[in-house]
Amino acid sequence: MAKFDVVVIGAGAAGMMCAATAAQRGRRVVLIDHASKLAEKIRISGGGRCNFTNINAAPANYLSENPHFCKSALSRYTAADFIALVKKHRIGYHEKHRGQLFCDDSAEQIIDMLKDECSRGDVHWRMPCKVAALQQAPAGLGGFVLQTDQGEIEADSVVIATGGLSIPKIGATDFGYRIAEQFGLRMVAPRPALVPLTFDAQSWAPFVEMAGIALEVDVETGSVKGRNPTGARFREDLLFTHRGLSGPAILQISSYWTPGTPIVINLLPELDLAAALIEAKGTVRKQLGNVLAQWLPARLAEGLLHAHGFAGDARLADMPDAQLRKLGAAINQWTLTPSGSEGYKKAEVTRGGIDTRELSQQSMMATKVPGLYFIGETVDVTGWLGGYNFQWAWASAVAAGISV
Ligand code: FAD
């Protein structure tokens, strides 16, 4: 039987970072992954350039049943710490948008960097390797025994870094959740997040033609009475698709969206449309569709008028103010209820996971099961779009890596 101080299961972002940190402290570490290709999610991230952190990352950028949980790890390993590592490896990077840092060349550089950090600590690898069972060692011996398709492994500590359920075709599994269940740890129900939203075919029919249109909007969650119960609001680009809505604005709000409730979109966030139309009434002798097309893409203006029961060729001057106010509200507060999302096959992350009440915020160890750790996306901490999820992966990994 092979013996190690630490077994890390899952060689993705968090797993490699944790293995490297623990191994560089002198711990004997083995890193296991069932995939044959290393860190596919890093490779495809950020459109192939890996948005590896966000310089503004702070606890407010994360969703969790316990919003305080992430504070400790994030404050002890910051975006600046990761940037220092990237610089040490001479990887060129740039800021793209609102603090989002991307590699100049390729996400492969981040994978190579993490591999190199693992080598510096002499991490052992088992990959591809399947873990069939994980048990606590018999009473009195301490530690854990793993059955794998490459033999039995014994270790003092086990770190679960197998991620969430998003993108099953590149190797996502529910392994972490099954281990939590086996050891009696509570879970926050997982669901797809940072995901495009869909609408039923009938209600979406007027908008199908608009697929491909993109524009900057404000988006927020709305309850049936039009309140914003989560307080979440984003100004980002929205993209119309054949089945619904996507783009950064929708991905962001999807993480806060509760099925069955509406979202509210302001398609003209810089303009009070009703006021502008009423003012234009006296001076502009144009048709409504043409007036609206000053501010919105013409195809979208036409589709929106049709969907809300307005005739595009109506003369603005003939329209009662009450009608213009109704149109203004329809566009400044477009309220619509998604029927669902594109699900795990398109979701960038999984919301929910191991309930943080089961874990130490300093070390990420399960308080009921000494020696068992959960890091990265397995845990109920989910970041916004924009490098926040990788920053959580690095920070939670380091918290565990200095503790195991
Ligand atoms: P992962 O990186 O998913 O790693 C989990 C590892 O566990 C994988 O290697 C997997 O093969 C392995 N594994 C799973 N099950 C088992 C098992 N049963 N046995 C053994 N091994 C197993 N976040 C950002 O911050 N910036 C971005 O630019 C960004 N872009 C993204 C783009 C896409 C398309 C997607 C899907 C996600 C993106 N994310 C991005 C999110 C980010 O990739 C994840 O939050 C992050 O990878 C989570 O790290 P992790 O180590 O917890 O899990």
- Judge if 256 and 279 occupy the same domain: yes
Residues recorded for the chain: 404
- Judge if 182 and 320 occupy the same domain: no
- The string of DSSP codes covering 21-68 is HHHHTT--EEEE-S-SSTTHHHHHGGGGT-EEEETT--GGGEE-SSTT
Q: How many domains does the chain fold into?
A: 2
- Closest listed residue to residue 400, CA positions, set 69, 41, 14: 14
pLDDT of residue 286: 85
State the distance from the centre of ligand 1 to the C-alpha of 403, rounded, in angstroms: 22
- Judge if 239 and 365 occupy the same domain: no
Question: Which numbered atom of ligand 1 lies nearest the CA of 35?
Answer: 11
State the distance from the centre of ligand 1 to the C-alpha of 13, rounded, in angstroms: 6
**Pocket test residue of 389, 391, 392, 394 for ligand 1, highest count of atoms within 8 A of CB:** 389
CATH code of residue 38: 3.50.50.60
- Judge if 215 and 298 occupy the same domain: yes
- Judge if 43 and 173 occupy the same domain: yes
- Judge if 184 and 203 occupy the same domain: no
pLDDT band at 307 (very low <50, low <70, confident <90, very high): confident
User: And the tokens for 359?
Assistant: 């874990």
- Judge if 332 and 367 occupy the same domain: no
| Predicted interface score ipTM higher than 0.95 | yes
pLDDT band at 58 (very low <50, low <70, confident <90, very high): very high
Domain closes at, from 299, 315, 341: 341
- Judge if 221 and 363 occupy the same domain: no
**Pocket test residue of 21, 33, 37, 41 for ligand 1, highest count of atoms within 8 A of CB:** 41
Ligand 1 site, residue 289, Cβ cutoff 6 A: no
**Does the pLDDT of residue 295 top 60, yes or no?**
yes
pLDDT of residue 331: 96
Average pLDDT over residues 56-74: 97
- Judge if 19 and 167 occupy the same domain: yes
**Does the pLDDT of residue 59 top 70, yes or no?**
yes
- Judge if 298 and 384 occupy the same domain: no
Ligand 1 site, residue 358, Cβ cutoff 6 A: no
Average pLDDT over residues 12-26: 98
At 254, the amino acid letter reads: S
Domain limits for position 210: 197-341
Average pLDDT over residues 249-265: 96
The proportion of the chain whose per-residue pLDDT surpasses 90, expressed as a percent, equals: 89
Question: Which numbered atom of ligand 1 lies nearest the CA of 40?
Answer: 9
Ligand 1 site, residue 236, Cβ cutoff 6 A: no
At 281, the amino acid letter reads: K
b/e per residue 371-395 (b: at least 16 CB within 10 A): bbbbbbbbbbbbbbbbbbbbbbbbb
- Judge if 42 and 95 occupy the same domain: yes
Cis peptide bond upstream of 192, omega within 30: no
pLDDT band at 158 (very low <50, low <70, confident <90, very high): very high
Average pLDDT over residues 226-235: 78
Domain closes at, from 310, 341, 372: 341
CATH code of residue 265: 2.40.30.10
pLDDT of residue 354: 98
Ligand 1 site, residue 254, Cβ cutoff 6 A: no
pLDDT of residue 334: 95
Question: Which numbered atom of ligand 1 lies nearest the CA of 391?
Answer: 25
Q: Dump pLDDT digits (tens) for 266-293.
A: 999 999 999 999 999 888 788 999 999 9
**Pocket test residue of 162, 167, 179 for ligand 1, highest count of atoms within 8 A of CB:** 162
- Judge if 49 and 174 occupy the same domain: yes
